[in-house]
Amino acid sequence: MPNMAPLLTGQFTGSRSDQKKAKALSDAIDKSLRAEKERRQREGGMKLLILGPSETGKTTVLKQLKLLYSTRGLDSERQTYRRVVHLNVMKAIQALVEGLYDANIPLEKENQEHLKVLSQLEPTLNRYSISAMAQANPAIPRKITDAKAESDMFLVMVPAIKALWADTGIQQTFNTITHLHIQDSAKYFLDAIDRVSDPEYIPTDDDILQARVKTLAVSEHIFNIDNITYRIFDVGGQKSLRKYWAPYFDDVNAIIFMAALSAYDQPCEENPRLNRLQECLALFNEIANHKLFTMTSMILFLNKIDIFQRKLDAGSLVSKHFPEYRGLNDYYSTTVFFQYRFQQQCKDLEKQVYTHFTHATDTNQMRVIVVAVNAIVQRLNLHSSGLL
Q: Among all residues, which ones are annotated catalytic? A: 55, 60, 212, 234, 238
Residue 213 is assigned to a ligand binding site: yes
Residue 55 is assigned to a ligand binding site: yes
Cβ–Cβ under 8 Å, residues 262 and 313: no
Residue 309 is assigned to a ligand binding site: no
Residue 215 is assigned to a ligand binding site: yes
57-80: b or e for each residue (b if 16 or more CB lie within 10 Å)? bbbbbbbbbbbebbeeebeebeee
Residue 304 is assigned to a ligand binding site: yes
Q: Cα torsion for 256, 262, 266, 270, to the nearest 10°?
A: -30
Residue 353 is assigned to a ligand binding site: no
Q: How far is 353 from 363, CA to CA, in rounded Å? A: 23
Residue 220 is assigned to a ligand binding site: no
Residue 93 is assigned to a ligand binding site: no
Residue 237 is assigned to a ligand binding site: yes
Instruction: Please name the amino acid found at residue 181.
Output: H
- Measured in degrees and rounded to the nearest 5, phi and psi for residue 18 equal -70, -30
- Give how far Cα 79 sits from Cα of 66, 131, 133, 343, Å: 16, 15, 12, 41
SS3 172: helix
Residue 47 is assigned to a ligand binding site: no
Residue 88 is assigned to a ligand binding site: no
10 Å Cβ neighbour count for 295?
A: 11
Residue 137 is assigned to a ligand binding site: no
Residues ≥6 apart with Cβ < 8 Å to 100? 107, 169, 170, 173
Residue 59 is assigned to a ligand binding site: yes
Q: Cα torsion for 369, 370, 372, 378, to the nearest 10°?
A: 160
Residue 238 is assigned to a ligand binding site: yes
Residue 303 is assigned to a ligand binding site: yes
Q: For the chain, what is the largest distance between any 2 Cα atoms, rounded to a whole number of angstroms?
A: 100
Residue 92 is assigned to a ligand binding site: no
Residue 112 is assigned to a ligand binding site: no
- Helix ranges (H only) for the chain are 4-11, 16-44, 58-69, 78-102, 112-125, 147-166, 168-176, 186-191, 193-196, 205-210, 276-288, 305-313, 318-321, 331-344, 363-384
CA-closest candidate to residue 259, choices 209, 304, 316, 214: 304
Residue 13 is assigned to a ligand binding site: no
Instruction: Please name the amino acid found at residue 278.
Output: Q
Residues contributing to the annotated binding site: 55-60, 184-185, 209-215, 234-238, 303-306, 360
Residues contributing to the annotated binding site for GTP: 55-60, 184-185, 209-215, 234-238, 303-306, 360
Residues contributing to the annotated binding site for Mg(2+): 59, 215
